[in-house]
A and B are shown apart, each in its own frame.
Chain A
Amino acid sequence: MTISSSPRLTTPVTDRDHIKGSPKALVTLVEYGDYECPHCGRAYSIVEEICREARDQLLFAFRNFPLTQSHEHAEMAAEAAEAAAAQQRFWEMHRILFTHQSELATSNLLQYASRLGMDTEQFRHALTTHAFRDRVHEEFMSGVRSGVNGTPTFFINGARYDGPVDVSSLSTAVGLRRRPE
């Protein structure tokens, strides 16, 4: 048995997702990522660059895919991002997590919440009760069902992207015109 087309996203982007860009954009880019994965760390600035250039031509959504057996802090970091989302600080926390990948212990996560001016008691409670574990697991399984096979995995308009992860390749794949250098 062979598969002739690339795997497809089983769960489309909805308002439950963490999104940036325009919901009216013709192109949707979804990333499944792990905050402790170095490849995802490298991809973070690449995606930032693409979102910056694309502005409202692109809708970007990030979904959690923590590799908990390989990355000790990945699950808690994912839950921290969701807890930040509950306080409307998702993208700020997302940026801190990806730019501090070797500092993802719970004590670090609490500091980041404080730095972002969040309600730290609410945040701490969310982490200790694992309030967002089910949500993270749901995203993880949606990724598995969609054919996520490692981190990061990207889907462009619902089709898994298997090309190189660099600004030039990704921006070509999402149909952006590159500005002349």
Chain B
Amino acid sequence: MSSITTPMASQVALEPGAEAPDFRLPSTPDQMVGLHEFRGRNVVLVFYPADWSPVCGDQTTLYNELLPEFQRLNSVLLGISVDGPWCHLAFARDRKLRFPLLADFEPKGSVARCYGVYRLQDGFCERALFVIDEGGIIRWSYVSPIGVNPGADGILAALEALVPQEKKR
């Protein structure tokens, strides 16, 4: 099937094997976080459409519960949406989130575009997951239908495939 390019053609998420594009985004109104700062650890990038989803037990809440598991697997979790840093601050406080939410705010969606997960027609990110290894290579990626929370099983399986047997508890 040939692909048709239109001005609003949808993006294709980066695949395993690709180098994860580096970026630097605000994590709070006065702090920036760069992907390269996490070399030596696995990174789970969670792109999501927007803060303030009305459902309790949504993706961010679930991952917040699993932070000890991610830590055990030598991983750090970073959430990314096009919301601004003040919105993220309020959302993180409201949901008691203990992992960084990064603001892909200016230029809007530029990091999401690098990863192939920006919804051009909607102006927000796909619900997409990337597992990046200690050397900065994408080892797993998944784009969920926008209305379906992808859960954590895929992330955990991908991380466990990266961790040498002797490091696992």
Residues of A within 8 A of B (CB): 1-3, 7, 34, 37-39, 67-70, 140-141, 144-151, 162
Q: Point out the residue from A39, A68, A141 that lies within 8 Å of B55, measured CB to CB.
A: A39
Stretch touching chain A among B22-30, B83-91, B103-111, B136-144: B136-144
Contact A146 B141 (CB under 8 A): no
From A3, A37, A68, A145, give the contact of B156 (CB < 8 A).
A145
- Nearest-Cβ distance from residue A143 to partner chain B, whole angstroms: 9
Other 13 A-B pairs with CB < 8 A, given A34-B57, A70-B56, A144-B151: A1-B142, A39-B57, A67-B56, A67-B65, A68-B65, A69-B98, A144-B62, A147-B153, A148-B151, A149-B149, A150-B57, A151-B57, A162-B148
| In contact, A69 and B153 (Cβ under 8 angstroms) | no
Expressed in whole angstroms, the Cα–Cα distance for A14 and B23 within the complex equals: 47
B96 at the interface (CB under 8 A from A): yes
CA distance A13 to B151 in the complex (A): 21
Given A1-B141, A144-B66, answer yes or no on A70-B57 (Cβ-Cβ < 8 Å). yes
Known: A144-B156, A150-B62. A67 touches B148 (CB 8 A): no
- B153's partner among A38, A67, A144 (CB-CB below 8 A) is A144
Please, which residues of chain A bring their CB within 8 A of the CB of B62? 67, 144, 148-150
- Whole-angstrom CA separation of A127 from B96 in the bound complex: 25
B56 touching A69 by the CB < 8 A rule? Answer: no
Complex Cα distance, B16 from A39, in Å, reads 37
Asked if B58 and A69 sit within 8 Å, CB to CB, the answer is no
A-B contact pairs, 5 of them (CB 8 A): A1-B142, A38-B56, A39-B57, A70-B61, A144-B151
Contact code string B146-160 (vs A, CB < 8 Å = 1, else 0): 001111111010000
CB of B64 closer than 8 Å to a CB of A: yes
Q: Mark B58-79, 1 if CB is under 8 A from A, else 0.
A: 1101101110010000000000
Contact B153–A150 (Cβ < 8 Å): no
- CA of A7 to CA of B145 in the docked complex: distance in angstroms? 14
The 8 Å CB contact of A149, one of B16, B59, B143, B156, is B59
User: Is there an interface contact between B150 and A149, defined as CB atoms closer than 8 Å?
Assistant: yes
Q: A residues within 8 A CB of B150?
A: 149
Chain B residues within an 8 Å CB radius of A145: 153, 156
**B residues within 8 A CB of A140?**
65
**Do A149 and B151 touch across chains, with their CB atoms under 8 A apart?**
yes
CB-based nearest B residue for A37: B56
B143 lies within 8 A of A147 (CB): no
Which single member of B69, B95, B151 contacts A7 (CB below 8 Å)?
A: B151
Residues from chain A with a CB closer than 8 A to the CB of B61 are: 67, 69-70, 150
| Interface-centre pick from A69, A148, A149 (highest chain B CB count, 10 A) | A149
Q: Is the CB of B142 within 8 A of A150?
A: no
Would B153 and A7 count as touching, CB distance under 8 A? Answer: yes
What is the CA–CA distance of A141 and B68 in the complex, to the nearest angstrom?
12
